[in-house]
Chain A
Amino acid sequence: MARSSAPGLLIALAVLFAALLLALTVGRYPAGLGDLFSYIAAKLTGGTAQVPAAAVDVLMHIRGPRVLAAVLVGAALAVAGTAFQGLFRNPLVSPDLLGASSGAALGAVLGIYFSLGVLAIEACAFAGGLVAVGAVYLIGSAMRARDPILVLVLTGIVIGALLGSGVGLLKYIADPYNQLPAMTFWLLGSLAATTDSDLLPLFGPVALGILILAALRWRMNVMSLPDEEARALGLATGPLRIAIIAAATLITSASVAAAGIIGWVGLVVPHIARTLVGPDFGRLLPTAALLGGGFLLAIDTLARTATATEIPLGILTSVVGTPFFIWLLAGMSRTWS
């Protein structure tokens, strides 16, 4: 193959590593790399660390979980976006095409409306995403159309619009002083409230979904061909499509539940990854995962350090994503390489 995978993958790895170093060392409390290394060294050798307890607390319990969550969510959205762009044979597709985000949004907004606890709201969001995509898939396949992909996409758009008006209605009738700001904040996306206890419910589904997609990544090349061709090449496309959609929905819903609605990552990162290693999913998927993690971590670091108040993540990703995407369009209009 023309493009060797090594440089592209190394670049992605370097981006993630740089973002990690930056994210762990900057912030309001002056805990830096030195503190981190001496703490780790002390842990490894069994000695006592010459590090203030507050610094350890910041690194391990405040910055640490948030950094991990940003990497997980970024990798998750990028992998799901890569899978969906291949499956739907369209480079303009993002992982919430089939209503995962709008379903999760309605779930979360419902949870806030009924004044549930934080974990219950996240569970509602997760369930909302799964139910929405499940409904889209069932309705779409009930049509028995000749072009199942197109029907699925159109059903996703229609159901997404319906769910969106549900969100609008709840915002309209919500208490404008307590509930509405919480809804708005959640809909804009943020990792500010991430704690240790958020990591497990995020990590489980994301790891499972990414594992499934990674295992299927060689077959995804064939799945990105027209359906009849993929079947003639020996794939049972129906079950495979369900598996890919289920895995991508699992990780999208878990990400949205943990971090709110964060657009653009799942759309833009697969493109950057393709320019680095080409369209072969065997290499594309791991590269997109590393890049997505690094990208969202960098954005999240910007979100918490750029100004005195936190900037919502969804706003930052679109501010960064839009010009980047236009630049991408201008440069690659010849081909979606």
Chain B
Amino acid sequence: MQLSGHDLTIGYPDRVVGRGLDMALSTGEVLALLGPNGGGKTTLLKTLLGLLAPRAGEVRLGDRPLSSYSPRERARLLAYVPQSHFSTFAFTVEAMVVMGRTAHGNLFSRPSAADRAVAARALERFGIAHLSERPYTMISGGERQLALLARALAQEPQFIVLDEPTASLDFGNQGRVLREIQTLRAAGHGVLFTTHDPNHAMRAADRVYLMRDGKRIAEGATAAILGRGELEAIYDAAVDLVTDRDNGRTAFLPG
């Protein structure tokens, strides 16, 4: 299955953010949307999720235009993981994850035992089953991000789209979320995430989509696209490339 955008003009009623954007994501691959802040990453992400209508062009999911899906149909195929956030009300972590089952019930149904079992498996899967009964407002930022990932998994979607999944996390939790992204791919999901850290794209993505000022700068296999020159160009900053002598992996340092 594929999620794709064709010649998209993206933006808001009063403002065009980007033009001429094409992209495609297949199940079983990880695509990183990389670029400087304000470059249109989040706008493109919301357009691909169907949360924001494209100003021109078309988003397709499978063999149909995304706009022809009902919200409920869409949510069974496409899950969204927002940036780890605060909740107004102190739902338990389990209740938060059970909300991932919304599209599998009807408008009036209460969560079934089967729904709760799916949620429990998702919590187990990310190693946070022990937090089930804790209020979502009382756990750490990293734990909240994992809970939101578990909620997306409970939707049983084909594609999982994450907005800056590592942005507000500490070093250890960044690594953990990047590892989880790779296991989601192994389970057959198509994963799209935005980041402004090229190292996170290096670590977790098969392909990279480089974006700046609402335009596609480059797209392709991570190793082929991410080089010192490309990064210096899109970030307008000097970049060092460092290599681990033991395993040959590379990383970028700004400045």
Contact = CB atoms under 8 A, between A and B. Distances in A.
B60 interface: no
B88 A91 contact: yes
Contacts of B108: 215-216, 218-219
B95 A221 contact: yes
Interface string B99-131: 110110101111100000000000000000000
Interface stretch (B71-79, B166-174, B182-190, B203-211): B71-79
A138 B91 CA distance: 32
Given A228-B46, A233-B102, A337 B90 contact: yes
B133 A2 contact: yes
Sort chain A's interface into a size bin.
Answer: 20 to 34
Contacts of A215: 108
A226 B75 CA distance: 16
A282 interface: yes
A239 to B, nearest CB: 10
Given A216-B107, A221-B99, A225-B99, A231 B88 contact: no
A280 interface: yes
Nearest to A228: B51
Interface string B142-163: 0000000000000100000000
A119 interface: no
A206 B110 CA distance: 23
A279 B90 contact: yes
Contacts, number: 94
A233 B100 contact: yes
Contact of A218 (B12, B76, B87, B109): B109
- Among B85, B102, B134, chain A packs the most CB atoms within 10 A around the CB of B102
B229 interface: no
Interface residues of B, number: 40
A232 B90 contact: no
B138 interface: yes
Nearest to B89: A279
A219 B102 contact: yes
B141 interface: no
Contacts of B92: 1-2, 278, 280
A318 interface: no
Interface in A156-170: none
Contact of B75 (A218, A219, A232): A232
A201 interface: no
A233 B51 contact: no
Interface string A1-24: 110000000000000000000000
B86 to A, nearest CB: 10
B199 to A, nearest CB: 28
A86 interface: yes
A61 to B, nearest CB: 38
Contacts of A278: 90-92
A335 interface: yes
Contacts of A216: 107-108
Contacts of A279: 89-91
Nearest to A91: B88
A9 to B, nearest CB: 15
B95 A225 contact: no
A224 interface: yes
Interface string A86-128: 1001110000000000000000000000000000000000000
Contacts of B87: 225
B26 interface: no
Given A280-B92, A336-B88, 16 more contacts: A1-B92, A1-B94, A89-B88, A218-B109, A219-B108, A225-B87, A228-B46, A229-B80, A232-B49, A233-B99, A233-B103, A234-B76, A235-B102, A236-B71, A335-B90, A335-B138
13 contacts: A1-B94, A2-B133, A91-B88, A144-B13, A228-B51, A228-B80, A229-B82, A233-B75, A233-B80, A233-B99, A233-B100, A235-B102, A336-B89
Interface of A: 1-2, 86, 89-91, 144, 146, 215-216, 218-219, 221-222, 224-226, 228-229, 231-236, 274, 278-280, 282, 335-337
| 5 nearest CB pairs, A to B | A234-B103, A234-B75, A232-B80, A279-B89, A337-B90
